Amino acid sequence: MARGRGVPVSTSTATAEERLRRLLALIPWVAERGGAQVDEVCARFGFTEAELQDDLELLFVCGVHPYQPGDLIWAEIVDGRVSISYADWFRRPLRLTPAQGLVLVTAAGALLSVPGTDPDGPLARALDKVAGVLGVEPGDSPEVTLGDVDESVLARLQAAVAEHRQVTLDYYSFGSDRRTERTVEPWSVFSSKGAWYLRGHCHQAADTRLFRVDRIRDVGPHGAAFEPPADPGPPTAYERRDDDPIVVLEVAEGGRWVAAQYPNDGTAEQDGRLRIRLPVGERAWLERLLLIIGPEGRVVEAPSRLADAGAEAAARLLARYR
C-alpha cells in the first residue's frame, strides 16, 4: 500500500472487535465518495492518522483465495487522501439462506450505530433491501437515527448544564427499545469512544442516568433551576445500577470480543471457552447481544426471566419472515 506523506505508523490500542467495526463503517463511506481527505476521515470516525494507517494496512491484505490483486481490497493514502476500491469478487451476486439473511440484518443494524456511519449510505440501503426480501423491518424503531449528533440538541444540552436548568428529553432507549419523555437535571455533557453522552439525575427513574446524545430526538425548553452535586463522580459511558442482574455468558473463540467490549464482573476459562459475568440492565440489550454472537455463545447462568432471552428473540425473528 502506498504510504502518504506525514502519516506516522503506530500500533493501535483498539481491540480487534473495535478495529473491525471501525473498518466496516469506514469502507463503504470512503468507497462511495471515491476517496476522502485523511483529516476528514479521522474527524468523522474518531481516530488518529496513525490508527487509520494501521487499519488500512490490515484492510489491504483482506481477500479470498488465491489472493491475487483482483482478489484483494485495494487501499492507499497518497498526498493526504484516502482511496479504497472493492475487489472484483464483490461484483458476484450474493446468495443467502433466510437464516443467514437474518444474521446479516441484525449485525448490519448494530453496525449502523457506529459513530461516523452514514445513516443513508450504501450499508443502510443494502440493509433495507435485504430486510425487504426477508419481510422484516431493518430496525424496530426506524425513525431513530444513530451516529450523528444534532448540533442544536448538543448546544441546548451544554447550555442547560452551564445554567443548571432542567430539560425535557424525547429519548430513545436502545436497552429497552422504546421512546420516552424524561425530565432530567443535566450535570455534564462529555464524549467517549466517538459518542456524546449526557449525565444527570432523571426524575422518572429517581436516580442517576446516562443518555446517548445521538438518541435524543428533541430537547424541551429549559425549566426550573437546580443545584448540581458537588462531586458527581467521573464521567463514564456505563452507569451500572445496584439491582442489575448478572448473566454468565459462555463464548467460543469468535465471541471473546464481548469481554473487551462490555463492562463485566470477571472472566474464567472453561474447557477452551470463556465464561463472562455480565451485568444486564435491560432484556432488549441482552437479546441483541445474543443474536449478534449467534452460535458462538450461550447463557449458562441467569435469572429465570433472562435464561431464554436469546432463544425467544430468535423465535420472534423467525416468525416474522415465515
User: What is the distance between the alpha carbons of residues 65 and 71, in angstroms, rounded to a whole number?
Assistant: 7
Q: Are 61 and 72 in contact (CB under 8 A)?
A: yes
Predicted confidence (pLDDT) at residue 7 exceeds the cutoff of 90? no
Provide the mean pLDDT of the chain: 77
Asked whether the whole model's pTM tops 0.75, one would answer no
Tell which wins on pLDDT, 188 or 176.
188
**Residue range 1-92, CATH number:** 1.10.10
- Contact indicator for 194, 45 with CB cutoff of 8 Å: yes
- Residue 193 pLDDT > 80: no
Sheet containing 267-270: give its strands across. 267-270, 273-279, 246-251, 297-301
Comparing CA positions, the residue from 224, 225, 288 lying closest to residue 262 is: 288
Q: What is the pLDDT of residues 73-114, one digit of tens each?
A: 788 888 889 888 877 666 666 666 666 766 667 666 666 666
pLDDT band with cut points at 50, 70 and 90 for residue 170: very high
Percent of the chain at pLDDT above 70?
Answer: 70
CA 80 to chain centre: 28
Mean pLDDT confidence for 311-317: 83
d(C-alpha 151, C-alpha 149), whole Å: 6
Q: How confident is the model at residue 5 (pLDDT cuts 50, 70, 90)?
A: very low
- Residues 138 and 107: their CA atoms lie apart, in Å, by 10
Q: Across residues 39-62, what is the average pLDDT?
A: 80
Instruction: Give the span between the Cα atoms of 280 and 301, in whole angstroms.
Output: 12
- What is residue 114's predicted lDDT score, i.e. its pLDDT? 63
Write out pLDDT tens, residues 218-236: 998 888 999 988 877 766 6
